[in-house]
């Protein structure tokens, strides 16, 4: 998937800003993250958002605009600076490029010119930063039946990733109608995925920032719509585009899908870099695993981790080797049944990885996290040491 370019736009004329936003609104890989009317505001936005591209209009005050371009260039050698102006005087162009701009576009803007400039910017950024697709991952959780532990494992995975400062994970509750990840995280929110999708065409950073809640662990979270009617208006195309945008702002995007395998679920399975299939060991669940794996195959999703949860509960029907034979693949992770840990974590409103980091169930979720993000290993070993020390103490 092509990298999304995040843009900050500065132009004193609100109408021209709107025209610019409308021009790029339908494009998948360009996102106006913020816009402003004053040159000094633009510097603040740049420092806060670190966009890929800053579009500076020279129309209002050429000297101030050139000062801004010089300032931006001194702050970052990498940022792509596009100047826009109604003048095509070579004197202007020369001055602007000398100040540090990468592109000079004449107004009124022509979409083709803008797209070509964006493509050049994308290539420059890829060359300078190294366009490593492994830098962000979309991980979709698919459950084989209700109550198997998808949300529990997805939220705990998110919290684990958030504890590592190098990562910026985001959990999205894609169980559109009945999702309860907000309860698992014990967070309150005013906006949901519905508000974001409703404003998709004019989506800016302010709105997205308002809709995304930050859990105390640092995990960012976008809740599911509040009503079934709101859930019904969400279209696969909108969420596909949204995930494309979020790939440029988050390192891990964790999707807690519904169990219906509907059009949204399937679209997300198709774009995910990895699917985690969660099941328990009872008969209906095991049968459903085959159905889920079939659906994944139809979406050409080959990166799959199979997790069996609540191992050791009374529900176990088949021995493990029989189950693996039935579903045609080996389980990647086995999470022990640990009612005490999850019930008390739920009651405390704190995810288990924070509430009982020493538990074996958390250790299994850590193992999963490490398969998804191998760079987590250093942190894990610290916790494992603690666990070893604690269990030695308990053993007396």
Ligand X SMILES: Nc1ncnc2c1ncn2[C@@H]1O[C@H](COP(=O)(O)OP(=O)(O)O)[C@@H](O)[C@H]1O
**Contact between 360 and ligand X (CB under 6 A)?**
no
Tell whether residue 282 is a contact of ligand X (CB under 6 A). no
310 binds ligand X (CB under 6 A): yes
- Which string of DSSP letters, residue by residue, matches 166-223? T--EEEEEE-TTT--HHHHHT---S--HHHHHHTGGG--HHHHHHHPEEPTTS-EEEP
Helix ranges restricted to H, the chain: 14-25, 39-49, 62-75, 90-99, 111-125, 150-162, 181-185, 193-198, 205-211, 228-232, 236-246, 263-271, 283-298, 320-327, 339-348, 352-355, 360-372, 377-395
By C-beta, is 319 or 349 nearer to Mg ion?
A: 349
Contact partner at residue 310 from ligand X, Mg ion, none, CB < 5 to 8 Å by partner kind: ligand X
The residue (of 6 and 215) whose beta carbon lies closer to ligand X is 215
- Point out which residues pair with 305 in neighbouring strands: 276
Q: Closest distance between Mg ion and the C-beta of residue 188, in Å? A: 18
**Shortest separation between residue 180's beta carbon and ligand X, angstroms:** 6
Closest residue (Cβ) to Mg ion? 151
Separation of alpha carbons 356 and 76, rounded Å: 43
Site for ligand X in 112-171 (CB under 6 A): 143, 146-152
Site residue total, ligand X (CB under 6 A): 17
Which candidate, 117, 34, 112, 42, places its Cα nearest to that of 80?
A: 117
Least distance to ligand X, CB of residue 387, Å: 17
Residue 359 engages ligand X in binding (rule: CB under 6 A): no
Q: Is 355 in the site for ligand X (CB under 6 A)?
A: no
Does residue 339 belong to the site contacting ligand X (CB under 6 A)? yes
Q: Whole-number minimum distance, CB 285 to ligand X, in Å?
A: 10
Q: What number of CA atoms fall less than 13 Å from residue 325's CA on the CB side?
A: 5
Choice between 148 and 239, CB closer to Mg ion: 148
Cis before 108? omega within 30: yes
- Give the rounded distance of the alpha carbon of 306 from its chain centre: 22
**Of positions 338, 362, 372, 376, contacts ligand X by CB under 6 A:** 338
List the one residue from 269, 331, 335, 350 that touches ligand X (CB under 6 A). 335
Least distance to ligand X, CB of residue 366, Å: 13
Q: Closest CB to Mg ion among 151 and 163?
A: 151
Binding segment (CB under 6 A) for ligand X, from list 246-254, 323-331, 338-346, 379-387: 338-346
Per CB under 6 A, does 223 bind ligand X? no
Q: How far is CA 11 from CA 57, 65, 110, in A?
A: 5, 10, 17
State the nearest-atom distance from the C-beta of 273 to ligand X, in Å: 21
Min dist. Cβ of residue 276 to Mg ion (A): 13
Residue of 17, 14, 88 lying closest to 55 (CA atoms): 17
Task: Point out which span in 234-242, 263-271, 294-302, 331-339 binds ligand X (CB under 6 A).
Answer: 331-339
Residue 222, beta-bridge partner list: 172
Q: Which is nearer to Mg ion, 284 or 391 (CB)?
A: 284
Q: Using the minimum distance from each CB to ligand X, give the nearer residue, 80 or 309.
A: 309
For the bound state, the minimum distance from the C-beta of residue 143 to ligand X, rounded and expressed in Å, comes to 4
- The full 3-state SS of 300-355, as one line of letters, equals CCCCEEEEEEEECCCCCCCCHHHHHHHHCCCCCEEEECCHHHHHHHHHHCCCHHHH
Cα–Cα nearest to 337, from 204, 207, 167, 152: 152
Residues in touch with ligand X (CB under 6 A) = 143, 146-152, 309-310, 335, 337-339, 342, 346, 361
């Amino acid at each position: 998937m092509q990298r999304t370019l995040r843009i900050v736009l500065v132009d004193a004329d609100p109408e021209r800003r709107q025209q610019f936003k409308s021009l790029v609104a339908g494009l998948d890989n360009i996102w106006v993250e913020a816009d402003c009317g004053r040159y000094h505001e633009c510097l603040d936005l740049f420092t806060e958002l670190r966009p890929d591209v800053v579009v500076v209009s020279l129309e209002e005050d050429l000297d101030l605009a050139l000062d801004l371009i010089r300032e931006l260039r001194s702050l970052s050698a990498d940022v792509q600076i596009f100047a826009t102006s109604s003048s095509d005087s070579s004197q202007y162009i020369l001055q602007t490029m000398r100040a540090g701009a990468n592109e000079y576009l004449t107004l009124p803007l022509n979409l083709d010119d803008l797209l070509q400039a964006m493509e050049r910017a994308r290539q420059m950024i890829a060359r300078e930063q190294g366009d490593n697709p492994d830098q962000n991952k979309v991980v979709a959780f698919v459950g084989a039946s209700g109550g198997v532990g998808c949300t529990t494992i997805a939220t705990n995975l998110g919290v684990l990733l958030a504890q590592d400062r190098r990562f910026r994970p985001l959990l999205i509750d894609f169980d559109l109608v009945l999702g309860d990840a907000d309860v698992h995280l014990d967070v309150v929110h005013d906006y949901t995925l519905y508000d974001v999708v409703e404003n998709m065409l004019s989506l800016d950073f302010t709105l997205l920032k308002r809709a995304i809640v930050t859990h105390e662990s640092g995990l960012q979270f976008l809740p599911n719509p509040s009503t079934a009617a709101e859930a019904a208006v969400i279209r696969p195309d909108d969420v596909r585009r949204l995930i494309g945008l979020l790939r440029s702002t988050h390192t891990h995007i964790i999707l807690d899908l519904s169990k219906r395998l509907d059009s949204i679920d399937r679209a997300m399975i198709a774009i995910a870099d990895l699917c985690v299939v969660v099941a328990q060991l009872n008969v209906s669940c095991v049968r459903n695993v085959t159905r889920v794996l079939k659906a994944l195959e139809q979406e050409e999703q080959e990166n799959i981790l199979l997790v069996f949860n609540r191992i050791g509960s009374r529900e176990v029907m088949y021995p493990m080797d029989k189950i693996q034979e039935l579903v045609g693949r080996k389980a990647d992770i086995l999470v022990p049944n640990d009612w005490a840990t999850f019930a008390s974590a739920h009651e405390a409103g704190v995810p288990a990885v924070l509430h009982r980091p020493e538990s074996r169930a958390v250790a299994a979720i850590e193992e999963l996290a490490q398969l998804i993000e191998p760079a987590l290993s250093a942190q894990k070993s610290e916790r494992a040491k603690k666990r070893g020390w604690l269990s030695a103490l308990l053993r007396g």
